[in-house]
């Protein structure tokens, strides 16, 4: 389940520095979602992500996928066959997903309600070791369903209801070979070509602006970093140079509208005397960057959401932050990433009220 409250935190976007850096692992992932019973939402949505950045998008009845980055437009201009391949895959996926979800509903005796079939496929490439890994896995109604084992070229059922699907798909040798070819040959080539065209954008390092925020004098102090890239970052509170774990609430890393990221970590100071505040500081660490950004806890620099003389109004900065946050959430919803979410243990349930 996704929590909307994090999107309501203010966004103060200031880009400080930009340096060139290289990552070790790169990925090209395709997120595909087919829905049944969801009003005012496409029956099929697919998104291509390069290093977690949205590169392309297609949905039901679209003849041609839409590039979402300038460097992607340059790529397909130089290599129109790649756009042709994506267009064909989008059309094929729409038909196969629709057939698969109808088949699952029938076999599982599901006559109504909201049902969602999801797939994450793609590849990863380690630019140091050269290792390439392909993957293709499905979820149904928020749970792991079936996954492809490229070593044995067979499907693995994650639950009993998927066993019939496994038998059918294992018998389809043409489909298995097509999957193998796409994941082992085509995907890594597309990934490396995308990295070449998008290197100035994908392999950059942006440091954030870090602010201390507090809604009311009794609220926790939030250390908020925004505008950083890539998303391999961590942030924590310290007291006398030692990391603090008590009374600390870590927020998720969230996307900004410009492709950068934001995150926050809250510190509850209700039991800390004002004269002890100087012993605390907030540390932001970006992977691959040697120097941390350290922000001292100083009441004089804390930004507040309160308007002087009013406890209910909000300043323009906060209103803009809320609007931008909601726009980011809307983009995620439209692209289908809102529906597809996964943790270390597998697919997560979808809260249907957010899809209405």
Give 81-116 pLDDT, tens digit per residue. Answer: 999 999 999 999 999 999 999 999 999 999 889 999
Residue 178 sits in the same domain as residue 79: yes
How many Cβ atoms from other residues are within 10 Å of residue 291's Cβ?
8
Share of residues in the chain with pLDDT > 70 (%): 79
Where residue 170 sits, what CATH number does that domain have?
3.30.500.10
Q: Is the pTM value of this prediction over 0.85?
A: no
Residue 131 sits in the same domain as residue 255: no
Residues 226, 256 contacting (CB under 8 angstroms): yes
Pairing of strands 261-267, 115-126: unpaired
Residue 238 sits in the same domain as residue 141: no
Domain assignment present for residue 341? The answer is no
Domain assignment present for residue 147? The answer is yes
pLDDT at residue 15 tops 60:
no
Residue 279 sits in the same domain as residue 225: yes
Between residues 13 and 260, the one the model is more confident about: 260
How many Cβ atoms from other residues are within 10 Å of residue 331's Cβ?
15
Domain assignment present for residue 344? The answer is no
What is the side-by-side order of every strand in the sheet holding 25-36?
Answer: 66-67, 53-59, 44-50, 25-36, 115-126, 132-140, 143-149, 154-157
CA angle 231, 127, 15 (to 5 degrees): 30
pLDDT mean over 198-216? 93
- Where in the sequence is the domain holding 303, given as residue range(s)? 204-330
Residue 53 sits in the same domain as residue 187: yes
pLDDT tens-digit series, residues 23-75: 468 999 999 999 999 988 899 999 999 988 899 999 997 888 999 999 999 99
Residue 126 sits in the same domain as residue 182: yes
Cα dist from 183 to 135, 148, 190, whole Å:
7, 11, 10
Domain ends where: 172, 201, 230?
Answer: 201
Which of 94, 109, 32 has the alpha carbon at shortest distance from 63? 94
pLDDT tens-digit series, residues 272-300: 999 999 999 999 999 889 899 999 999 99
pLDDT at residue 187 tops 50:
yes
Domains contained in the chain, number: 2
């Amino acid at each position: 389940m996704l929590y909307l409250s994090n999107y309501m935190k203010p966004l103060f976007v200031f880009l400080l520095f930009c340096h060139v850096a290289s990552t070790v692992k790169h990925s090209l992932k395709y997120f595909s979602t087919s829905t049944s019973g969801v009003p005012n939402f496409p029956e099929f949505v697919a998104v291509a992500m390069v290093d977690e950045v949205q590169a392309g998008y297609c949905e039901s009845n679209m003849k041609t996928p839409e590039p979402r980055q300038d460097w992607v437009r340059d790529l397909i201009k130089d290599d129109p066959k790649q756009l042709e391949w994506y267009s064909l895959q989008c059309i094929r996926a729409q038909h196969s997903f629709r057939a698969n979800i109808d088949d699952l509903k029938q076999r599982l005796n599901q006559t109504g309600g909201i049902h969602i079939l999801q797939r994450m496929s793609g590849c990863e490439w380690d630019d140091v070791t050269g290792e390439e890994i392909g993957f293709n896995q499905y979820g149904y109604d928020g749970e792991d369903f079936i996954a492809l084992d490229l070593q044995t070229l067979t499907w693995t059922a994650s639950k009993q209801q998927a066993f019939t699907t496994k038998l059918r798909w294992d018998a389809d040798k043409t489909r298995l070979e097509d999957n193998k070819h796409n994941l082992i040959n085509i995907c890594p080539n597309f990934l490396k070509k995308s990295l070449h065209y998008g290197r100035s954008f994908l392999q950059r390092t942006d440091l954030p602006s870090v602010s201390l925020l507090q809604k009311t004098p009794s609220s926790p102090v939030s250390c908020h970093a925004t505008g950083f890239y890539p998303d391999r970052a961590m942030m924590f509170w310290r007291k006398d140079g030692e990391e603090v774990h008590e009374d600390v609430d870590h927020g998720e890393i969230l996307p900004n509208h410009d492709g950068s990221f934001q995150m926050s970590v809250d510190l509850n100071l209700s039991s800390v005397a004002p004269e002890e505040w100087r012993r605390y500081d907030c540390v932001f660490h970006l992977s691959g960057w040697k120097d941390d950004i350290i922000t001292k806890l100083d009441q004089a620099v804390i930004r507040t959401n309160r308007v002087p003389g009013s406890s209910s109004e909000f300043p323009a900065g906060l209103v803009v932050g809320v609007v931008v946050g909601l726009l980011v959430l809307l983009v995620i919803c439209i692209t289908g990433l809102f529906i597809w979410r996964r943790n270390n243990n597998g697919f997560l349930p979808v809260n249907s009220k957010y899809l209405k």
